Structure 1
Amino acid sequence: MPIATRAFAATDSSSPLTPYSFDRRDPGPDDVAVAIKFAGVCHSDVHIVKNDLGNTRYPIVPGHEIAGVVTAVGENVTRFKIGDRVGVGCMVDSCRTCVSCREGEEQYCVPGMTQTYGSADPKGAAVGQTITQGGYSDAIVVDQNYVLSIPDALPLDAAAPLLCAGITTYSPLRHWKVGPGSKVAVVGLGGLGHMAVKQAVAMGAEVTVLSTSDRKKADAERMGAAHFLINSDKDAMKAAAEKFDLIINTVSATHEIAGHLQLLARDGTMVMLGLTTEGLPVFAMPLLWRRRSVAGSLIGGIRETQEMLDFCAEHGIASDIEVIAPDQINEAYARLEKSDVRYRFVIDISQMGKAA
């Protein structure tokens, strides 16, 4: 039978998120049904709710950092059983046949991955769903191939943000082969940045945090950063020239990046992770003179996401979180836009009934 689901949804680009009820599909042979316990709040949720990209379809239930417990499995499911601790990240399906999918890089699916919320949802047609709906809800049904196992060493609440923030930073650190001896700079100590610091330190890198002020310096040092650099300090920036092999830029607002290129060593790369909606000028000369690169990275594939969860469990890494009730989500959005969180909001879905 369809699963009656309680949620918080946006009904347009300017109104607050409000309680919303809908049906999840009956689990099919390959599906896993999950009782959601916690859902992280990502800055991209705010972008989608506010229709900053111009393609949001309403009503929309955001949330792609999902941690919960299996409540039912289909007859073909072999990887999970009832009671397992599981996670769902930014995607719930892909074409499975393109080169990217066959190589385990489903996030770069050529026709396009099926995102956890806001994508066309043919599987939901039987219960009247035209688009996928996300984790600000108390249940979800997902194909077993897109479900992750959360190790027992990770608390479910602090594990939830790993499903987006954690893998978004882990994937480029692995792709650019960060390890002992690497010098990594992280621009912005927020939801993504604090995960990048913790992971890069665990990989053996010497990590520097770049920020606009020193108010998070103590936090950066607690997380293992060796250095803290204020990017408006021209002398300090000059002294750090050509120091870094990799810069992980996590800032999701429009900001100046051309000056940061001088911090890269020869063959160094700045990887852009923040979802900015305006262009960021870059000049050719700093790139040409040291064969530097500016690159982008999305999330990771399912295989790499599971690797990340296991790595975080092994090294005792989890997100720094502030747990909120579902009816605090609008306040959290307002605070998130002011960078007033250290470092990830997580919704306690067990309180959904009280709010909705």
Structure 2
Amino acid sequence: MSQQQEPKYEGWAALAEDSIEGKLEWQEYKPKPFADDDVEMKIMYCGVCASDLHTMSGGWGRVDYPQVVGHEILGEVIRVGSKVTHVKVGDIAGVGAQSDSCLECGQCRKNREPYCDQGQTGTYAGTYKRDGPGKGAKSYGGYANYHRAPGHFVVKIPDGLDHALAAPMLCGGVTVYSPLTQYGAGKEAKDVGIVGIGGLGHFGLLFAKALGANVTAISHSESKKADAEKMGATRFIATHSGKEDDFKPYARSLDLIICTTNDESMPILGYLSLLRPGGNLILVGAPEKPLPPLPAFPFIMGNVHIGGSAIGSPKLIQEMLELAAKQGVKSWIEKRDIKDANQTVRDMKASKARYRYVLVNTANGGKL
């Protein structure tokens, strides 16, 4: 494919912090130069993640505008580099929240690419660092018509898995699947709690159940109790005020808690009280403001631990997708035409998603 024959890349670009108000603009942009280990696809579906809003608004830090967000990208492969062997033209493939890493450090060699010693390159808002034609180029995401990425971070979508349902698993799904498997959900951690019943939290419930755990949903009110039970929760804890009385009846009843909320005022001490000695509270939500100071004694006397987890490696994404296909795990989504991206962003900001929006590009074969 010559330079003149390359696809015309266009997407919804955030140009300033107020883009979160639904002020994205459709415009042309230049992707990274194609390398012999790259894969190019025409985008059929792209999930809408809270990270997209945090990034485009500058909530997580300075943004190099213009920025095309979206890192739950699924589409048809239209070009592969000479070094790519695991996908071919015509395959349906996906890219999650990471687009590159050094591929050489100890973490990368252990299939822990999100924790690369040299730092990861995000699928958007990143800069490619590895030697090659793309070095120094800016990464752009999936609110667009095409995507180009290093093949190492492209996964093949298993047969039998609905493409629209698979797209939001590429980030939202694996973000909770990763700590669930790392901390033994369904094995060492028989009783698992999921804090927050949103885009990430609903995946937490679905995958904790799929892994064989007894699942407890934890939310500030009962408004999503019925949904949580349909997703696999067998117990529901409503925290209401966040005070001790909300948690006391359930003290020391969980082995693992995955916390998906972005609320910096979350009642962390209450969550810790739910853990048995040796238990873990793992943060996957990322508040824009610092968490409050925590006393040492609950950790010491309870022998409980707090930690964090990022996204998942390509290998883990593939494993998760295979499990979803085998067990019939189904994302709870609402499809939106990619032409309606601005209204979708406004609705996402207003917390209307139940529980993941997926942008659909019908021109590329996506189905509303």
Calculate the TM-score normalised by the size of structure 1: 0.94
Task: State how far apart, in whole Å, the 2-side matches of 1:199 and 1:18 are.
Answer: 36
- Structure 1's 124 and 61: CA in aligned 2 closer, same or farther, altered over 3 A? farther
Superposed CA offset, 1:234-283 (max 9, x none): 54521100111011100012222222211111011110010112222322
- SS of the aligned residue for 1:158 comes to helix
Whether 1:245 and 2:245 are equivalent positions in the alignment is no
Task: State how far apart, in whole Å, the 2-side matches of 1:324 and 1:352 are.
Answer: 14
Task: State how far apart, in whole Å, the 1-side matches of 2:115 and 2:83 are.
Answer: 26
The alpha-carbon deviation at position 215 of structure 1 amounts to 1.4
The alpha-carbon deviation at position 297 of structure 1 amounts to 0.2
Task: State how far apart, in whole Å, the 2-side matches of 1:125 and 1:4 are.
Answer: 22
- SS of the aligned residue for 1:313 comes to helix
Whether 1:47 and 2:16 are equivalent positions in the alignment is no
Q: Which deviates further from its counterpart, 334-343 or 188-197?
A: 334-343
The alpha-carbon deviation at position 26 of structure 1 amounts to 5.5
Check whether the contact 1:14–1:50 (CA below 8 A) recurs between aligned residues. yes
Whether 1:272 and 2:283 are equivalent positions in the alignment is yes
| Structure 2 residue corresponding to 1:4, chosen from 2, 8, 17 | 8
Task: State how far apart, in whole Å, the 2-side matches of 1:99 and 1:135 are.
Answer: 30
The alpha-carbon deviation at position 99 of structure 1 amounts to 1.2
| Structure 2 residue corresponding to 1:133, chosen from 123, 130, 140 | 140
Superposed CA offset, 1:189-223 (max 9, x none): 10000101011111111111111111111111111
Report the counterpart of residue 339 of structure 2 in structure 1: 327
The alpha-carbon deviation at position 149 of structure 1 amounts to 0.9
| Structure 1 residue corresponding to 2:83, chosen from 61, 71, 76 | 76
Whether 1:259 and 2:266 are equivalent positions in the alignment is no
Whether 1:148 and 2:165 are equivalent positions in the alignment is no
Report the counterpart of residue 313 of structure 1 in structure 2: 325
Task: State how far apart, in whole Å, the 1-side matches of 2:273 and 2:133 are.
Answer: 55
Amino acid at match of 1:318: K
Task: State how far apart, in whole Å, the 1-side matches of 2:291 and 2:362 are.
Answer: 41
Q: Which deviates further from its counterpart, 189-198 or 254-263?
A: 254-263
User: Pairwise CA RMSD of aligned residues?
Assistant: 2.2
Superposed CA offset, 1:32-82 (max 9, x none): 111110001110110100011222100000011001111112222211111
The alpha-carbon deviation at position 333 of structure 1 amounts to 2.3
Check whether the contact 1:24–1:127 (CA below 8 A) recurs between aligned residues. no
Whether 1:217 and 2:228 are equivalent positions in the alignment is no
Calculate the TM-score normalised by the size of structure 2: 0.91
User: Which runs of 5 or more residues in structure 1 are unaligned?
Assistant: none
Check whether the contact 2:39–2:81 (CA below 8 A) recurs between aligned residues. yes
Q: Where do residues 1-356 of structure 1 align in structure 2 (5 Å cutoff)?
A: 1=3, 2-15=6-19, 16-25=23-32, 27-121=34-128, 130-179=137-186, 182-232=190-240, 235-256=245-266, 257-281=268-292, 282-350=294-362
Task: State how far apart, in whole Å, the 2-side matches of 1:169 and 1:149 are.
Answer: 20
User: Which runs of 5 or more residues in structure 2 are unaligned?
Assistant: none
Task: State how far apart, in whole Å, the 1-side matches of 2:135 and 2:257 are.
Answer: 45
Task: State how far apart, in whole Å, the 1-side matches of 2:100 and 2:150 are.
Answer: 7
Check whether the contact 1:34–1:141 (CA below 8 A) recurs between aligned residues. yes
- SS of the aligned residue for 1:295 comes to strand
Q: Which deviates further from its counterpart, 203-212 or 333-342?
A: 333-342
- SS of the aligned residue for 2:30 comes to strand
Superposed CA offset, 1:109-167 (max 9, x none): 11111111111146899799841100111111122211001112211111111010110
- SS of the aligned residue for 2:28 comes to strand
The alpha-carbon deviation at position 332 of structure 1 amounts to 2.2
